[in-house]
Amino acid sequence: MHQGATISGSAHPAPHREKAPLSALAFGLLSAPIAWVLHLLINYSIAGQRCIGAVAREDILRGPPGALAMILLVDIASLALAVSAGYVAFVLWKKTKDEKVGEARALVHAGEGRTRFMAMCGVLTSTLFGFAIAVDALGSIVGPPC
């Protein structure tokens, strides 16, 4: 029996699965969305504490000291996590991009090349959620504090 063959005689639908460990695929696929959710929850709680009872414009800054610095720190950490997830997913995609050759419709119908597909989805989600984090961070810098 040759490498990649199964008991039924057909080749495995993800022959390059050894090149892309499941933990790395999961990191590349899920880290950016998780970073975005945590970024949103933490920043909203900090901004909420910062803006409690802000009636007049000069009263806005009476929140916790360094609230803007904390918000920016969360923005930078979240963006760094999204970029690192995108990098991991891109490296895995480069390793598995030749996993299966053929027309896209036939590959999708047969479910082949799933390792490559997961890596490509990781690149896409990391890019989109990284962009969302960056736009939200820009709003923290440019927009009004409350």
Domain residue spans of the chain: 20-142
Q: In whole angstroms, give the CA distance from residue 55 to residue 69.
A: 22
Mean pLDDT across the stretch 27-43? 96
| Chain segment 52-83, per-residue pLDDT in tens | 765 544 545 555 567 888 999 999 999 999 99
Q: Rounded to two decimals, what is the model's pTM?
A: 0.74
Q: In whole angstroms, give the CA distance from residue 31 to residue 83.
A: 10
44-48, 71-75, 129-133 — which is least confidently predicted?
44-48
Helix (H, G, I), strand (E, B) or coil at 72: helix
Asked whether 47 and 71 are in contact (CB, 8 A), the reply is: yes
Asked whether 74 and 39 are in contact (CB, 8 A), the reply is: yes
Given this model, what pLDDT does residue 89 score? 93
Percent of the chain scored above 90 by pLDDT?
A: 38
Reported as type and span, the H/E element at residue 94 is helix 67-96
Calculated CA dihedral for residues 99, 101, 102, 104, nearest 10 degrees = 40
How far, CA to CA in Å, does 42 sit from each of 74, 75, 78, 138, 144?
Answer: 8, 10, 11, 16, 18
| Chain segment 111-121, per-residue pLDDT in tens | 467 788 888 89
Residue 54 carries which side chain, given as an amino acid letter?
A
Percent of the chain scored above 70 by pLDDT?
A: 65
